[in-house]
């Protein structure tokens, strides 16, 4: 009986460790995703800053008349690039939302597993209590006389 209880405790401990390890992996994955998104955002912002700086330097060197002509063309290019960046940023947001939804689903699965483990623990405790009661009743019951 003690071996069963020890085995049960060991099972619960192993499952708990596995659950904690899964949570740690999930947290690490989320942190890596956050870092990836941060790096990507910084890269996009640096690229945009470099494009703006290049654009401004070019405009300063050119004469006022050439500036008028080229601003219109550069505006179209910048708008297209901004549209591309906006599209890319939207894709990144959608990906992040998908990652968050997967993380939420994993978190729910972990919560369900924790609840199931708690139920199993309670059932095992109740079974152990029943065994103890039955064992106590057997030892305290009057013994029939031997003939």
Judge whether 6 lies within some domain.
yes
Report pLDDT digits (tens) over 91-141.
989 998 999 999 899 999 999 999 999 999 999 999 998 988 888 877 776
Specify if 57 maps to a domain: yes
pLDDT value at residue 1: 61
Question: Can you give the residue range of the structural domain that contains 78?
Answer: 2-131
Q: By the 8 A CB rule, do 62 and 81 touch?
A: no
Look-up of token digits 């890269």: 43
- The stretch 9-16 carries a mean pLDDT of 88
Sequence length of the chain is 147
Question: Does residue 140 form part of some domain?
Answer: no
Query: Given this model, what pLDDT does residue 111 score?
Result: 94
- Could you give the CA distance from residue 90 to residue 102 in angstroms, rounded to a whole number? 18
Question: Does the residue 143 lie in any domain?
Answer: no
The predicted pLDDT at position 30 comes to 92
How many structural domains compose the chain? 1
Percent of the chain residues topping a pLDDT of 90: 48
137 within a domain of the structure (yes/no): no
Contact status, residue 124 vs residue 8, Cβ threshold 8 Å: yes
CB of 87 closer than 8 Å to CB of 24? no
pLDDT tens-digit series, residues 22-78: 999 999 999 999 999 999 999 989 999 999 888 877 766 777 667 678 778 888 898
């Amino acid at each position: 009986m003690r071996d069963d209880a020890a085995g049960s405790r060991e099972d619960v401990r192993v499952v708990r460790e596995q659950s904690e390890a899964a949570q740690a992996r999930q947290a690490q994955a989320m942190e890596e995703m956050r870092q990836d998104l941060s790096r990507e955002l910084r890269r996009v912002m640096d690229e945009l800053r470099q494009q703006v700086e290049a654009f401004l330097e070019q405009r300063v060197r050119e004469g006022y008349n050439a500036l008028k002509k080229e601003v219109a063309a550069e505006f179209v290019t910048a708008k297209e690039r901004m549209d591309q960046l906006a599209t890319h940023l939207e894709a990144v947001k959608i990906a992040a939302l998908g990652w968050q939804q997967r993380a939420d689903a994993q978190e729910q699965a972990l919560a369900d597993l924790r609840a199931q483990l708690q139920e199993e623990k309670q059932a095992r405790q109740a079974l152990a209590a029943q065994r103890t009661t039955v064992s106590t009743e057997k030892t305290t019951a009057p013994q029939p006389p031997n003939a």
